[in-house]
Amino acid sequence: MRNKPQLNEVREALQSFTAVPQELGLYSAPPQPIIVRDEADRPQPRLDRDAGRGMSITVGRIARDRVLDYRLVALGHNTIRGAAGGRS
């Protein structure tokens, strides 16, 4: 039987995540690639889509789930993350 992480551990893992683009200091890489919001009504497209110049993913409403252990809502700016992310 595996140990399930606690809610605060899931939140901290998401909040502290960084990868190679942050280590290399790439221009298009946001300093914080995943932004965790604690408000009950976040993320919201109008308020959070441009986080990290549109390159960060905003996560919120992290909660326990009986099927997958945890569930959350994630929001990213599709145009900037996809088609235009490498441009200044």
Note the pLDDT of residue 78.
87
Q: What is the pLDDT of residues 34-59, one digit of tens each?
A: 999 999 999 999 999 999 999 999 99
Does the pLDDT value for residue 87 go beyond 60? no
| Domain ranges across the chain | 7-81
Note the pLDDT of residue 80.
78
Question: Higher-confidence residue: 82 or 19?
Answer: 19
From the list 71, 79, 73, 78, the residue with the least C-alpha distance to 44 is 73
Q: What is the pLDDT of residues 56-81, one digit of tens each?
A: 999 999 999 999 999 999 999 988 77
Q: CA angle at residue 55 from 64 to 74, to 5 degrees?
A: 20
Please tell me the distance from the alpha carbon of residue 75 to that of residue 52, in angstroms, as a whole number.
12
- Per-residue CA distances from 27 to 55, 75, 86 (Å): 11, 21, 8
Note the pLDDT of residue 85.
54
Q: Which pTM was predicted?
A: 0.85
CATH superfamily of 7-81: Dihydrodipicolinate Reductase; domain 2 (3.30.360.10)
